[in-house]
Each structure stands twice: as structure tokens, then as C-alpha cells.
Chains A and B, each alone.
Chain A
């Protein structure tokens, strides 16, 4: 959806390095989400945020951190504690809970 922008499209991480994935939305949505997708697999929730300055852990939050300082932005940091970060990362937003989630184009993260 044109209203959600993820960057970069491809990202490479060195051992011991933290990297940050950007997600920006101009849909005026309250809720934002981060998912991880491994090859041939489904979507697993990392973190979600219902409102500015608030966020909750999803099913696989270990090794990741987020912030929600602005309504339109929900960056995800993949820390060095995440030992297997290679995956396709998808950001989504929805007007509120229980509403359609709209996805960005994703970021592919690989280890150098």
C-alpha cells in the first residue's frame, strides 16, 4: 500500500551489530505492527503498538526493540542478541485493532 514506506529494501548486518529498520505511514493509523517472515513460512508478530508511546511484545520479541515516539513512525531495531536475523521483515498498520492491516513492501535482512 502506498501509505506505508519501509526502508531500506535490503539490509546486511555484520556480527555483533545492531541495525534499524524504518517504517513510516501516512494513513493516520493508530496501530502499527512488525512481522517476521522466514522463507516459505507464515507471519510471526514481533511487536505492535496501539498508540503513540506504547507498544507490546508479540510472539517473538526477543532480540528486537521498537519505539513509537510519533504516530507515523515505528522503527524496529534488530539487536546483536538476535542470533538468526535473516528474514523478510514486514511492517503493517491499521486504523485501530480489529481493522484491516495494510502492509509495507518489506525489508530483507541478511547476515554478512
Chain B
């Protein structure tokens, strides 16, 4: 079945450094790739998304890149800050499918 693998499961970086989280999807028909941030005890919030007709998208310190050939996409956070500490989830869906296929999540820890 459709699957999204997310790595690493935990990522610890020094404040001010960059963080990269990678996801690989199995369904070549996938064309929508959102990223969500979930703080402890809170709801997931969409932070950035990308569609398959675009290779990269940026929003201030956050960027997402997509490699359709390799079927993977990555979240890049630059100049990390303490408030970036959270669990990040990637997901993928296809035009014909109402379901998002979710990655298992990455716990990002920002060390002071």
C-alpha cells in the first residue's frame, strides 16, 4: 500500500544551526506534500506545502524541496530558534485520494 517514510525520528540541533527532515513516498501518483508542526499537547498546524509541479518553495526560514524522480521531499529550517522545538509530520496525497498518507513524525530539539 501507499507509504511515507520519515527520517530521522529525533533530531537535535544547536540553536542557530539548520535542520533537515526527509520523507520518501511510495506512490508515484502523489502530487501534494504538506508539512505540519505539532507542539506538545496542541493540534498539528500546516507550516508549508508543495505540489508536484514545483521543485522548491520557501517561506522565511522554512523551505521544502521535492525530487519527483527519487520520490522524496525534505523540510529545511534555517537559523533554528527555541520555538522551532516540536514534532514535525510530513504527508502525501494524490489528486484522486482524499486521504493524506502521514509520516511517523520527527521530534526536533533545539539546544540552547
Contacts and interface: CB of A to CB of B under 8 A. Distances in A.
Real binding pair: yes
Interface of A: 1, 31, 41-43, 45, 48, 50, 56, 58, 90, 94, 96-106
Given A90-B43, A102-B46, A105-B43, A42 B105 contact: yes
B43 A104 contact: yes
Residue from the set B42, B44, B45 with the largest chain A CB neighbour count within 10 Å: B44
Interface in B68-112: 89, 93-100, 102-105
Interface of B: 31-32, 34, 42-46, 49, 89, 93-100, 102-105
Interface centre among A48, A58, A101, A106 (most CB of B within 10 A): A101
9 contacts: A43-B44, A48-B99, A90-B43, A90-B44, A99-B32, A101-B34, A102-B46, A103-B45, A104-B43
Contacts of B96: 97
B49 A100 contact: yes
A31 B103 contact: no
A22 to B, nearest CB: 15
A104 B42 CA distance: 9
A89 to B, nearest CB: 11
Contacts of B42: 105
A96 to B, nearest CB: 8
Nearest to A59: B99
Contacts of A101: 34, 46, 100
B62 to A, nearest CB: 15
B50 to A, nearest CB: 11
A43 B43 contact: no
